[in-house]
Structure 1
C-alpha cells in the first residue's frame, strides 16, 4: 500500500497523516471498507439507532423517536457486531461508530465492514477523533446546498492511517483503559452536579414557600412575548456577540441562563434581529422533557446576535410589579413545576410541550418589590456557592472531554507510542 497525496479536500487530516510513523500506511476509506446492503426483509432484526456518542443502541432507548412505518421495515439495513454504522446526515455531530450489537438500522444510514486491514476497535476511535470530525465538517461546508450529509464519494476518498495490526490492538487497548478512566471521572462530576442542583432546588423551595398557587395570573405582569425560530444550524456553538447563533431549548435548564447552549447560524441564513434575547428577558422553555419543560431563567448579559429558537419564549415583565429573577425562582419551584407538568402535552415523555396560554395563565401573586428583592438576596446567599461549584464541575467535565479527545487523536495518529506509555 502506498502513501497518498494528502492535500486539498483532506486538509483537516493531512498534517497529522503526513507526520505519522514510518511503519504506518495510508489508504483511502474505499480500500478498507465494503459497503453492505443487506435488508431487513424477514423483519427478524431488532431496531437499532445510532447515538452521537457513537453507541449503537436499541431504538427504544433513544426516546422521542417516531416509530417507523411498518411498510418501511423491510428497507432497513442489517448491521452485525463490529460493522461500522454511519449516519451521513449527522457525521459532523458524531454520527458514526462501530456496533457492539446486531440488528437493523435506518435505510438513511450506511453500513460498512472492514476488509481486515483495520480492527473495529481501532476504527471506532479513529473515525470519531477530532481531525476526522473536522474533516466531515469541511466536506459539508464545501457543498453548494444546505444538505449537510457527507456524500459517499467524499467518504470513499477519505485517507486513513493503517498501523500494523498489533499496534492497532495496543492502541485500542490503551484507549479503552484511558477513556474508561476519564469517563468515570466525568460521571462522578455529573453525579455531583445533580446533587448540587437538588440542594439549589431545596433552597428555592424554602425561599418561595410563602408564595401562593392561587390569585393573579402571570399574564397580568407581562408586557410582551416573543417566540423564536429554528432554522437548520451548524452543530457547534457561537458566541452570540460577534457571530449569529440560535439558542437551544436547554438554555434555561436548571434556572440559570446558559448562553453557550446554542448553534451557529449558517452564513446563508438571514438573521432575525427581532428575536435576539435582551438583558432581563424571562426565558421559558415550551418544549422539553417532562422534568425540564417550562424551565425558566433570566438573561443576565448582552448578546446582540443570540436569537431565540422556536422552543423558547421570551417574556418582558413589568418590573414595577415583578422582578424577572423572582418570577424565574417561583416557576422553578416544585409547586409550579407540578402545575406546568399537568398542562404539558405530548406523545412522548422525552418531548412534551406547554402552550403560551398555559404559561401566562399560571398563578403569580407577587409581593411588594422590596420583599421580592429581599427574597432574591436571601436566595443568592444560599445559592451563589452552589452555583460556583456547579460551574467548576461543568468546567472540569469540559476539560476532561478535551483531554479525552486529545488523547484519542494523539494515539490514533501515532503522536504517542502507546507501547511505551502502557
Structure 2
C-alpha cells in the first residue's frame, strides 16, 4: 500500500520530539496488514501496509486469515460487490438527536460479516500479482496524461500572457472603461421556485457548464424583476467573484432572460467584440494576480468588489482579428485538455473493470500472465 493518510511509519517516530507519547490512541499496523478507513473505505481508502507503522483511530487494522491473500481481499473490496457490501453496513448516518449525528462509518464487526467468494490461495496470489502489473501500467499511463494536462495548462497560460502582455499590439486601459454600465452583483437571497414557473438562475458552479441540455435552478419572476440590473440579454461576461477566481464565460443568447446569484458579476461591454477578449483575460495569471491583491484582506473567502474590478488594468489586444485568433488557440488547447481528461477517466474505468473481472474469475490470469 502506498503511504495513506493517517498511517505514520514507525521510523518517523524514533526521535526525541515526544510524538510517540502523544499518539496513545493510534494503532500499530504490521507489514501485510489490511488498513481501512472506516469512513471512506467504500471510496477506495483501503490498502495493504508495506511497512510497520501507526494508524490513526479512524482506520481499522485487520490481519487476513491463513490462506487469504491481503492484496486479493483488498481488490475484492474495491469491486462493485465489495463497495455495496460496505456501504450497506455503514452506521451513524443519523440519530433522533441532531447533535448526535455522526459521519457514516463501518465497524470491524460488520466488516467481518461480509461474505467473500475467494478462490484457492495460489489463484489469489496469481490474481494479486496480475493486478499489480496491470495497475502499474495503467497508473503510468495516467501519470503521463496528467503531466500532459499540466503542460497544456502551462501552454494555455503562455498564450494568454502573450496575448495580453504590454507591447505595440495592445492598449493599456481599465476594465471599467470597457463596460457600458458599472458591474453589479446578482440576487443575494434567492427564492427558488419550480423551473417551469420561474426565471433561470445562474450560480458560480454553472458558469463553466452552461449548456441548453443542463437544467438551471429558477427563482421567482418578481425577485428577478427586483434585480433587473443583472438580468441577462446574452453576450455579457459572467464572472464568479466569490471563492475561486477566474471562472468566466460569455453568456449565450439562449440564456436571455435569466438572472444571476450574488457571487456572479454581470459585465456588459460597450463593444460586443471586446467581450470574448475580456472573458479570456479573466482566466489569465495577470487577472488572478490583481484579484489576489484586491481580496488578500478577506478573512473568510475571497470576495472581489465591483469597484476594485473596474479599476483593474488590462492590456487589450488591438489587432482586428485578435479575438478570433485567441479563441481558436484556446479552443484547440481546451479540446486537448478535455480529451486527455477523458482518457484518464477511461483509464480509471479500465482499472476498476480489470479488478472486478480478475477477482470474479471473468479473466483467467494464468492465460494473460
TM-score (norm 1): 0.59
Structure 1 distance, partners of 2:118, 2:176, is: 69
Give the 3-state SS of the residue equivalent to 1:114 in structure 2.
Answer: coil
The 5 A counterparts of 1:7-406 are 49=5, 73-140=23-90, 147-152=102-107, 153-209=109-165, 210=170, 212=172, 216=176, 221-225=182-186, 257=208, 282-284=238-240, 293-298=244-249, 313-320=263-270, 325-342=276-293, 355-357=302-304, 361-362=308-309, 363-365=311-313, 375-406=322-353
Comparing 181-190 with 218-227, which one deviates more in the overlay? Answer: 218-227
Give the 3-state SS of the residue equivalent to 1:298 in structure 2.
Answer: strand
Structure 2 distance, partners of 1:327, 1:124, is: 50
Contact 2:174–2:313 at 8 Å: present in 1 too?
Answer: yes
Structure 1 distance, partners of 2:203, 2:63, is: 36
Structure 1 distance, partners of 2:86, 2:237, is: 37
CA 144–173 in structure 1, closer or farther in 2 if over 3 Å, else same? same
Structure 2 distance, partners of 1:300, 1:341, is: 25
CA 215–180 in structure 1, closer or farther in 2 if over 3 Å, else same? closer
CA 259–317 in structure 1, closer or farther in 2 if over 3 Å, else same? closer
Contact 1:78–1:105 at 8 Å: present in 2 too?
Answer: yes
Give the number of equivalent residue pairs: 311
Contact 2:208–2:249 at 8 Å: present in 1 too?
Answer: yes
Contact 1:296–1:328 at 8 Å: present in 2 too?
Answer: no
Structure 1 distance, partners of 2:80, 2:46, is: 13
Give the 3-state SS of the residue equivalent to 1:332 in structure 2.
Answer: coil
1:247-304 per-residue CA deviation (whole Å, 9 max, x = no partner) reads 999x69xxx92689xxxxxxxxxx9856xxx9977354855xxxxx52323277899x
Give RMSD over aligned pairs.
4.7
Question: Which 5+ residue runs of structure 1 have no aligned equivalent?
Answer: 1-46, 51-55, 59-68, 230-246, 261-270, 288-292, 347-351
Contact 2:91–2:104 at 8 Å: present in 1 too?
Answer: no
Name the structure 2 match of 1:15.
none
Structure 1 or 2, whichever has the larger Rg, is 2
Contact 2:34–2:46 at 8 Å: present in 1 too?
Answer: yes
CA 408–371 in structure 1, closer or farther in 2 if over 3 Å, else same? same
Question: Which 5+ residue runs of structure 2 have no aligned equivalent?
Answer: 10-18, 96-100, 191-201, 220-231
Comparing 173-182 with 379-388, which one deviates more in the overlay? Answer: 379-388
